[in-house]
């Protein structure tokens, strides 16, 4: 019998209406039973479990962030996908070892001399919710297998789109996938252009 080869993780890119920066404080307050600021940000979106003032939130920080940050439709309807077709599949399970197109782009591109925000913005999208980035634990992994990787705000979305489109980068000669960088950027631009049009940010998640 051959060795079992574990399939790579699937990654999704969700539209967000708020930023983690605006939610971390209210979520921490909610964990200690003070829910007012968080509920004010969530007004009109019935997606949170019942929160009783004076009682700690029944859900963990990562799950609370996930529910709070998404660009829900009116009344709490599921967010409209930034892309529900080909780009979602191509970028979601990229044909690299770990299936992570963003890490692949960081590893196998070189920024042009003279200054570029390409790698810093890609890093924020792919790892902006790590303990190192946030400054505290609990906002990356939650119950039910939730794993939040990183994010971009609306201004970041515009910035990354411009960095990619202006071409101030090159592909490293040791890239293992022929055309992999070009393919990943092409599909990432689909998400960035959609988010730009909707004036929303992007949350990157991993599904193992």
| Per-residue confidence (pLDDT) for residue 179, from 0 to 100 | 95
DSSP reduced 3-state for 48: coil
What's the whole-number mean pLDDT along residues 179-208? 96
Place of tokens 């939650």: 142
β-pairing verdict for 109-111 and 169-171: antiparallel
Cα dihedral 114/119/121/124 (nearest 10): -150
Q: What is the pLDDT of residue 144?
A: 85
Task: Report residue 9's pLDDT band, with 50, 70 and 90 as the boundaries.
Answer: confident
Average pLDDT over every residue of 146-159: 97
Provide the pLDDT for residue 7.
Answer: 56
**pLDDT, tens digit, for every residue of 20-45?**
999 999 999 999 999 999 999 988 78
Give the span between the Cα atoms of 83 and 108, in whole angstroms.
Answer: 25
**Does position 75 have pLDDT exceeding 80, yes or no?**
no
Q: Model confidence at 151, in pLDDT bands (50, 70, 90)?
A: very high
H runs (alpha helix) in the chain:
20-31, 36-41, 61-69, 86-92, 101-107, 118-127, 131-134, 154-165, 180-198
Instruction: Name the helix (H) or strand (E) containing 60.
Output: none
pLDDT bucket at 46, cuts 50 / 70 / 90: confident
Is it the case that residue 154 has pLDDT exceeding 80? yes
- How far apart (Å, rounded) are the C-alpha atoms in residues 94 and 113? 28
């Amino acid at each position: 019998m051959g060795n079992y080869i574990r399939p790579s993780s699937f990654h999704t890119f969700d539209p967000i209406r708020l930023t983690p920066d605006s939610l971390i404080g209210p979520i921490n307050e909610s964990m200690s039973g003070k829910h007012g600021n968080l509920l004010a940000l969530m007004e009109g979106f019935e997606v949170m479990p019942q929160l009783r003032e004076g009682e700690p939130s029944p859900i963990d920080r990562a799950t609370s962030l996930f529910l709070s940050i998404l660009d829900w439709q009116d009344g709490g309807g599921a967010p409209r996908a930034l892309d529900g077709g080909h780009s979602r599949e191509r970028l979601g399970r990229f044909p690299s070892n770990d299936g992570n197109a963003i890490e692949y782009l960081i590893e196998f591109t070189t920024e042009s001399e003279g200054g570029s925000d390409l790698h810093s913005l890609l890093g924020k999208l792919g790892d902006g919710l790590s303990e190192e980035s946030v400054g505290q634990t609990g906002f990356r992994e939650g119950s039910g297998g939730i794993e939040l990787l990183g994010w971009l705000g609306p201004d970041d979305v515009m910035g990354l789109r411009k960095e990619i489109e202006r071409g101030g980068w090159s592909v490293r000669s040791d890239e293992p996938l022929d055309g992999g960088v070009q393919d990943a950027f092409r599909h990432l631009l689909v998400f960035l252009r959609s988010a730009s049009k909707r004036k929303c940010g992007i949350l990157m998640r991993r599904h193992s």
